[in-house]
Amino acid sequence: MPYSAEISRASPAAFVFLLDQSASMQDPFGGAEQKGDAAPSKARVLADTVNRLLRDLVLRCAKEEGVRDYFHVGVVGYGERVQPLIEPAESHGAPGGLVPISALADRPKRVEERPQQERSDDGEEEKEERAPVRFPVWFDPHAKNGTPMCHSRRQRHRRGSHRRRAAPLRPAAPRLRHR
CATH number of the domain bearing residue 58: 3.40.50
Would you say residue 157 lies in a domain? no
Would you say residue 39 lies in a domain? yes
Would you say residue 53 lies in a domain? yes
What average pLDDT does the segment 46-59 reach?
A: 94
Interatomic CA distance for residues 99 and 17, integer angstroms: 12
Q: Can you give the pLDDT at residue 118? A: 62
Nearest to 28 by CA among 141, 139, 112: 141
Would you say residue 145 lies in a domain? yes
CB neighbourhood size of 40 (10 A) = 15
Q: Can you give the pLDDT at residue 164? A: 46
Summarised one tens digit per residue, pLDDT across range 87-122 is 765 655 566 678 999 999 988 999 998 887 665 566
Summarised one tens digit per residue, pLDDT across range 62-76 is 999 999 999 999 988
Q: Can you give the pLDDT at residue 167? A: 44
Q: Can you give the pLDDT at residue 162? A: 44
The number of distinct structural domains making up the chain is 1
Would you say residue 8 lies in a domain? no
Q: Can you give the pLDDT at residue 58? A: 95
Structural domain harbouring 29: 13-116+130-149
Would you say residue 159 lies in a domain? no
Q: What is the pTM of this model?
A: 0.69
Would you say residue 165 lies in a domain? no
Q: Can you give the pLDDT at residue 73? A: 92
What average pLDDT does the segment 20-38 reach?
A: 76
Question: What's the longest Cα–Cα distance across the chain?
Answer: 68
Would you say residue 155 lies in a domain? no
Band of pLDDT at residue 28, cut at 50, 70 and 90: confident
Mean pLDDT taken over the chain: 77
